[in-house]
Chains A and B, each alone.
Chain A
Amino acid sequence: MTAWRLSLKQGPALRVDLRGVVPAVLASLPVGEVERLRLGYGKGSLALGELFSVAASTGGEGDELVLQGDLSRFDRIGWQMASGRLLVDGPAGDYAGACMSGGEIIVKGAAGALAACEMSGGSLIVEGNVGDFAAGTLPGSMDGMRGGRFVVKGSAGARFGDRMRRGSALVFGDAGDFLASRMVAGTIAIGGTAGAHVGYGMRRGTVVFAGAAPQISPTFVPALVDPAVFWQLLARDLARTGGPFEGLARRTIVRHLGDLSADGKGELIVAAAA
């Protein structure tokens, strides 16, 4: 079992599909076979070794994989990953961590669109920003992210958590318009400022605002009751991620329920100033 370090030799002329390049697959391969792995390249494919130099990570465990370089044109990093640890030392392209069901992925830069798309388990941390439709759906799918924990330490684009079904998705920074649109369930928490139309078509689920209060649409109604028990369970869990969520359980909350236009029983929870 080898922990591989793949270092980008040159920027690709076309976008590259990195599905299949996950710790569980590479750990048991010898270096020659790693280099010969085929990667989707535009409409064709090319060998991994043409883009990456492959070396064994010193001191690494067999279930780790490091990808180093500017990978912003590399899509589907960690696609359907089920186990192991993947570190991207640089920015990532679209669909980072999409459909992953286990393991841990850390992206040390920004990620493109559709990060954590249909994620069902494991942990994905993006230290930079993410593009649009993070935690969302594959084309035509009814449910987006449905499990696991997704943390964005930067800001998110538009439609963060679109059709999200389950799991926890946290953004330390700001989010664009249509945060939690068509949300089915699950938990989103944001530390910065949200854009317009939060919770548009939301059915169930919870969006926690630890930073600025958002503009709340008239299809949400104020909640009379403070769900103290539930808030403690949720806030303590979110606080484990730190950052703007530290001490969340001590803060009082104001809730709105909706989206009534979708028969929704979701909630927007604004935490009072820390």
Chain B
Amino acid sequence: MAEAVVRNGVSIDDGFAEAFPMKATRILITAHSIEWARHAAASATGFATSVIACGCEAGIEKELSTDETPDGRPGISVLIFSMSGKELAKQIERRVGQCVLTCPTTAVFAGISDGDAVALGKNLRFFGDGWQISKVIAGVRYWRVPVMDGEFVAQETTAVTKAVGGGNLLLLCTGTDSALAVAEAAVLAMKKLPNVIMPFPGGVVRSGSKVGSKYASLGASTNDAFCPSLVGLAPKTELTAETKCVMEIVIDGLTERDVGEAMRVGMEAGIAIGAAGGLLRISAGNYGGKLGPFHFHLQKLLGARA
């Protein structure tokens, strides 16, 4: 293994994150005020941390000004990722139906136009019980569903695009406070980028996993090589005595470039805090490069290696 690169006291592994193809869409949720758009977006992207058990990974991409939305109202763009187009379609319909349609004053529009069309408002129209109205404007179909606060307007379909899921960073720190500070700073910087979400709570996952388990029914289990409480017990550890807390950030993005850029920006934010702030080393999770076609080399992203 080649030497790690050190930046501001932080050791950057000569390693890579391994990521996978996913399917994704973007939807735009607008509302009477940004607060109500936030309620709808937070609700629709809730319980969407991992495709392992949530069906999709979803998050808020960014808030939109009134100049950026189709109806001139405040809005939020949401990204949703699934392993298959079919599951994605199901998740979209459920989440929009239960969390956006229900939320006061919202309307929902497609945020991507290139790709296979999947239902957005298409099946929600039946809630109108026959009173719903279709409108085709400039070749795009919208549904107007009468509801108690007026009308729920939903574009009929949104488009599904290929995407990349599972970019990641492992932040090895001296303690809980420093690990949180570094992770929070990294996520804050990454949230400013378009086309990516960090689906775990606060953008951070504390329960990083490895493939396999001693239990036949579990596909993944705790990444013991990175568990500080197993230093000295586990047969193999990646940690030193100083590493008391490790946090992982997982990134899903619309393209390989978007994920790589998010990883780079996250690393730079951590490096700015540096070893002085408790960040000892940055690593990344992979499966030996055999499962996922997308490899994000940490040093290469930082431009620290040819």
Whole-angstrom distance between the alpha carbons of A126 and B117 in the complex?
34
Q: Which residues of A contact B153 (CB under 8 A)?
A: 227, 229-230, 233
Whether A204 touches B137, Cβ cut-off 8 Å, given contacts A227-B150, A227-B151, A229-B107, is: no
- CB-defined contacts of A147 to chain B, threshold 8 Å: 136
Contact B135–A229 (Cβ < 8 Å): no
**B127 sits at the interface (CB 8 A):** no
B261 to chain A: closest CB distance in Å?
A: 33
B50 to nearest A CB, angstroms? 34
Q: Are A229 and B134 in contact (CB under 8 A)?
A: no
**Neighbour of A204 across the interface among B30, B73, B133, B151, CB < 8 A:** B133
A196 an interface residue at 8 Å Cβ cutoff? no
Q: Choose one: B71, B133, B136; the contact of A229 (CB below 8 Å).
A: B71
Number of interface residues of A (CB under 8 A): 22
The verdict on A225 contacting B151 (CB below 8 Å), with A232-B72, A233-B70, A233-B142 known, is yes
B135 in contact with A230 (CB, 8 Å): yes
In the assembled complex, which residues on chain A have CB atoms less than 8 Å from the CB atom of B151? 225, 227, 229-230
When each residue 214-244 of chain A gets 1 if its CB lies under 8 Å from chain B and 0 otherwise, what string results?
0000000000011111101110110000000
Assembled-state Cα–Cα distance A227/B152 (Å): 9
Interface string of B71-97 (1 = CB under 8 A from A): 111000000000000000000000000
A204–B131 alpha-carbon span in the complex (Å): 11
> Is A233 within 8 A of B150, CB to CB?
no
Is B297 engaged at the interface, CB distance under 8 Å to the other chain?
A: no
Please state if B144 and A185 are interface contacts (CB–CB under 8 Å).
Answer: no
A206 at interface by CB-CB < 8 Å: yes
- Most-contacted residue by chain B among A185, A187, A228, A229 (CB, 10 A): A229
Cβ-defined partner of A234 (8 Å) among B72, B135, B150: B135
Contact partner of B71 (CB less than 8 A), chosen from A167, A185, A204, A232, is A232
Q: Are B137 and A187 in contact (CB under 8 A)?
A: yes
CB distance from A171 to the nearest CB of B (A): 18
Judged by a CB distance under 8 angstroms, whether A249 is at the interface is yes
Query: Chain B: residues with CB nearer than 8 A to chain A?
Result: 30, 70-73, 107, 131, 133-138, 142, 144, 150-151, 153
Task: Report which A residues bind B (CB closer than 8 A).
Answer: 147, 166-168, 185-187, 204, 206, 225-230, 232-234, 236-237, 249, 265
Ordered by A's residue number, 15 sampled pairs between the chains whose C-beta atoms are within 8 Å are A225-B150, A227-B151, A228-B150, A229-B73, A229-B107, A229-B153, A230-B142, A230-B144, A232-B72, A233-B71, A233-B135, A237-B137, A237-B138, A265-B131, A265-B133
